[in-house]
Amino acid sequence: MALPRLVAFDLDATLWEPEMYQLMSGPKKQGVDRHGRPVVITHSGEEVSLIGDAWRILHELATDARWQDVQIAYVSRTDEPQWASECLRMLALDNGLTLHELAHHHEIYPGSKRTHFRRIHERTGIPYEHMVFWDDMQWNTKDVAGLGVVAIYAPQGLTAAAWEKGLQQRACNPTVDGPTAPITMQAAQSVFCGAKLQARAQPQQRRAARTAVVASADNRAAAGFAAAALAAAVLINAPVAHADLTEDLLAKSAANKALNDKKRLVSSYSNFARSTSVSAGTCSFPNNWFGCDVGVVAPDSIIKQDIKLECEGKDAGNAGGKAEAHTWDGGTMKFELDDSTLLRVSGVAAVALGVSALAVPRDYHNRLYATSSVFSEAPTRSSGVVASWLGAEQLVIAARDDLASRDAKKDMLKVAGAGWLATAAAHAVNVQNNAEQRDVGIACAVGSALLGGLCLWKGLEDKLD
């Protein structure tokens, strides 16, 4: 059977679960599941593991000599490409080879998968007809099939059936020649377009041994009645209970799959909107300083649907962004500190600091900082402009409630933290040079340092866990 020259796999819900957008935080370390196979454990304790027959198939690609001339690619439009790359580096096969090292091509970024395959084609020169691609989303397979790629819809992930289907369809293309797979002793296969004939040794059927029952004539009637009663109870109750349990599990499974399909669809629409904004040039200064989020470039309907789906099936108050909030409960008072709340506090403080630096009269400024070179008039006015602008940016980013703005909030918290620590250092210098305003300077330095440390901690908490 002719082998393809390149096999390509989607990642989320094709090779592994859960999908990257479903994770609360990024990968932290490698672990093992109950079968002893490696999984990725996130900072939130979630496990990312291979699904279906992905482990066996990837192990075959890594160890079987017949695949040595076939290139391997990962083609994913995940909205968390960094997390996906980290998972690939942490997941290793039995021979020690990581999934990242296994593949020749890593096309992992938002956008149309046509772009992913065009880049592979331009880089390798491999015709599209020599490529086979597996994906759990049907619109991706239809999109890629338009290029000529053999695209296989795999709604259950990379299973043995989906894998075999892709190889069959590739082999049934009469215009394509490629590497030839040897015929094995286990299965001699004859492949035709639309049909597959296999000659396999049929296992011998084992006869069931009859059970001999010996009973005396006196006890035969009693034993018969007891057996009949037991059989009636089993036949009546067991099917009903089993049917109820099966129907309940199937209903829950179908509901969960439908919800996840909706989330993946909205996530794909968001990724497409974000990628087109970059190519069209609408993702520009100042948004590109902190990342062009879906909240900026995507239609408002996508954001509202994203939030609605994230909250579906959750208790009131538990829906929303991915960032875990830190809560202090003091009996009657309860204060919850999340990224948005901290950004609002920092933003208001920065705007107030900037406005005061710009609005303070010259004579008062000169009297307040008479001996300070750090707080001379020109640097103070300039820092006021910067502080006001950064404060406004913090308030804008804090106002976004879409899930994709999480990384932008983390980045802005890091910037704000660094700014407040610099402000604290400047006030500390002024305290040494201006004894008359010592109390005010100490208060400003301590407050700025505390706020800066808190912002930095929240911005880096994923890496510090």
Q: pLDDT tens for residues 362-410?
A: 555 555 554 444 455 666 667 778 888 888 888 888 886 554 467 778 8
Q: Of 155, 180, 205, at which residue does a domain stop?
A: 180
- Residue 26 falls within a domain, yes or no? yes
* CB atoms near residue 1 (< 10 Å): 16
* Mean of per-residue pLDDT scores for the chain: 74
CA atoms within 13 A on the CB side of 223: 8
- Residue 196 falls within a domain, yes or no? no
- Residue 76 falls within a domain, yes or no? yes
- Residue 353 falls within a domain, yes or no? yes
End-to-end CA distance of the chain: 50
CATH number at residue 42: 3.40.50.1000
- The residue behind tokens 């470039």 is 297
Q: pLDDT tens for residues 128-146?
A: 999 999 999 999 999 999 9
SS3 content of the chain, % helix, strand, coil (to 5): 55, 15, 30
Residues in the chain, how many?
465
- Residue 377 falls within a domain, yes or no? yes
- Say if residues 85 and 106 touch (Cβ distance below 8 Å): yes
- Residue 125 falls within a domain, yes or no? yes
List, for the chain, all residue ranges whose pLDDT scores fall below the cut of 50: 177-178, 180-192, 194-218, 289-291, 294-300, 316-335, 370-374, 403-404
Domain of residue 376: give its range. Answer: 326-464
Q: Of 120, 153, 180, at which residue does a domain stop?
A: 180
Q: Of 180, 209, 232, at which residue does a domain stop?
A: 180
- Residue 200 falls within a domain, yes or no? no
Please tell me the total count of domains within the chain.
Answer: 2
Q: Give pLDDT, residue 245.
A: 59
Q: pLDDT tens for residues 261-297?
A: 666 665 665 566 655 555 555 555 555 544 455 444 4
Tell me if residue 12 is catalytic.
yes
The Cα–Cα gap between 60 and 350 comes to: 58
Contacts of residue 142, defined as CB under 8 A and 6 or more positions apart, other chains included, come to 151
Options 12, 79, 293, 339, the catalytic residue: 12
- Residue 381 falls within a domain, yes or no? yes
The Cα–Cα gap between 23 and 1 comes to: 40
Q: Give pLDDT, residue 69.
A: 94
